[in-house]
Amino acid sequence: MATNSLKIMYLSAEVAPFAKTGGLADVAGSLPKALNALGHDVRIVMPRYGRISPERFGLKEVIPELKVPMGDKTESARILQGEIGSGEEKTTVYFVDNARLYDRDNIYMYPDDAERFLFFSKAALELARKLNWQPDIVHCNDWHTAMVPNWLKTIYKDDPFFAHTATVYTIHNLAYQGVFGYRVLEIAGLAEYGFIAHPETASLNDVVDFMARGILFADVITTVSPRYAQEILTPEYGEGLDGILRDRKDRLFGILNGIDVDTLNPATDPNLPVNFDADSLGRRVENKLALQKEVGLPQRPDVPLMGVISRLADQKGFDLLGQIMDPLFRFNDVQFVLLGTGEERYHHMFQQMAQRYPDRFSANFTFNAPLAQKIYGGSDMFLMPSRFEPCGLGQMIAMRYGSVPVVRETGGLADTVENYDPTTGKGNGFTFREYDSMALYTTVVRALENYRYPKIWRKLMLRGMKKDFSWQKSAKEYVEVYRKALRFRAGK
Ligand code: ADP
- What is the DSSP secondary-structure string of 167-191? EEEEES-TT---EE-THHHHHHT-G
Same domain assignment for residues 197 and 66: yes
Same domain assignment for residues 325 and 210: no
The answer to the question of residue 443 being in a domain is yes
Same domain assignment for residues 459 and 484: no
Q: What is the pLDDT of residues 401-413, one digit of tens each?
A: 999 999 999 999 9
Number of domains in the chain: 2
Which domain CATH number covers 375? 3.40.50.2000
The answer to the question of residue 72 being in a domain is yes
23 lines ligand 1 (CB under 6 A): yes
Atom of ligand 1 nearest to the CA of 376: 16
- Residues of the chain above pLDDT 90, percent: 95
The answer to the question of residue 476 being in a domain is yes
Same domain assignment for residues 58 and 130: yes
pTM, two decimals, is 0.95
Judged against a pLDDT cut of 80, whether residue 13 lies above it is answered with yes
The answer to the question of residue 414 being in a domain is yes
Judged against a pLDDT cut of 90, whether residue 92 lies above it is answered with yes
138 lines ligand 1 (CB under 6 A): no
Q: Which residues, 6 or more positions from 200, have their beta carbon under 8 angstroms from its beta carbon?
A: 243, 244, 246, 247
Mutate to test the pocket of ligand 1, among 310, 341, 388 (most ligand atoms within 8 A of CB): 310
The answer to the question of residue 275 being in a domain is no
309 lines ligand 1 (CB under 6 A): yes
Same domain assignment for residues 177 and 304: no
263 lines ligand 1 (CB under 6 A): no
Same domain assignment for residues 367 and 484: no
Q: How far is the CA of 98 from the centre of ligand 1 (A)?
A: 28
E strands of 329-403, at which residues?
A: 335-342, 361-364, 381-384
Same domain assignment for residues 132 and 230: yes
Give the end-to-end CA distance of the chain in Å, rounded to a whole number.
Answer: 26
Q: What is the pLDDT of residues 38-51, one digit of tens each?
A: 999 999 999 999 99
Same domain assignment for residues 458 and 476: no
Q: Calculate ∠ Cα 368-369-370, nearest 5°.
A: 95
The answer to the question of residue 264 being in a domain is no
Judged against a pLDDT cut of 80, whether residue 112 lies above it is answered with yes
Judged against a pLDDT cut of 80, whether residue 202 lies above it is answered with no
27 lines ligand 1 (CB under 6 A): no
Q: Give start and end residues of each alpha helix (H) in 75-204.
A: 99-102, 113-131, 147-152, 183-188
Q: What is the pLDDT of residues 218-254, one digit of tens each?
A: 999 999 999 999 999 999 999 999 999 999 999 999 9
Judged against a pLDDT cut of 70, whether residue 374 lies above it is answered with yes
**Beta bridge mates, 309:** 339
Same domain assignment for residues 371 and 297: yes
User: Domain range spanning residue 244?
Assistant: 7-258+472-489
Q: How far is the CA of 367 from the centre of ligand 1 (A)?
A: 9
- Residues of the chain above pLDDT 70, percent: 99
411 lines ligand 1 (CB under 6 A): no
Mutate to test the pocket of ligand 1, among 24, 311, 341 (most ligand atoms within 8 A of CB): 311
**Where does residue 15 rank: exposed (0-12), middle (13-18), buried (19+ CB within 10 A)?**
buried
Same domain assignment for residues 311 and 243: no
Same domain assignment for residues 241 and 294: no
The answer to the question of residue 265 being in a domain is no
Same domain assignment for residues 69 and 159: yes
CA dihedral (323, 325, 326, 330) in degrees, to 10, reads 140
Nearest CA to ligand 1 atom 26: 369
